[in-house]
Amino acid sequence: MLRNWWVAAYTTFYEYVPDLGLKTARSVNNYVRATKDAAVSSRRRIGEALHVTLLICKFVASLAFFLPIALYTVVEYVLSGETGVALAVFVVNLANHYFEWTRWSAPGSVLFVTVGVITHTWRCGSGDTELERLSPTTIVLEGLKEV
């Protein structure tokens, strides 16, 4: 019986515990490395997600600013310049006053004029723009000068 206790103690303290210490140290080292790699990977993913979020926010902010300017420029081109835009706004407001279509005509006109002012300010008030060179009125006048 004593020999069994001695074998158990020998196995526990001389074979199992030293191996346990080495295996535990290796396991802890492996867990530390894996945790570090996972943290680096997570940090990279979070950085990429924040970068994509920033790009989307910049795109939406740019779109919110430049889309009304682009739409106003197209309307100004179709209506042959500032005079056509002013005349169209006046006619729409007059028709709205007469037919009473909607109550948002005046705020819409103010918003449209504000976008027009911002557009002209953004272009720095340059007189010889691409819009004026390609407008239908300019093309007709240039054609009449050639004749």
Mean pLDDT of the chain: 82
User: What single string gives the DSSP state of each residue in the chain?
Assistant: -HHHHHHHHHIIIIIIHHHHHHHHHHHHHHHHHHHHHHHHHHHHHHHHHHHHHHHHHHHHHHHHHHHHHHHHHHHHHHTTSHHHHHHHHHHHHHHHHHH---S-HHHHHHHHHHHHHHHHHHTTT-SS-HHHHHSHHHHHHHHHHH-
Q: What is the mean pLDDT of residues 17-43?
A: 87
CA atoms within 13 A on the CB side of 101: 9
pLDDT tens-digit map of 103-130: 777 788 888 888 888 887 887 766 556 6
pLDDT tens-digit map of 85-96: 889 888 888 888
The residue extents of the domains of the chain are 2-146
Q: Is the pLDDT of residue 139 over 60?
A: yes
Q: What percent of the chain has pLDDT over 90?
A: 24
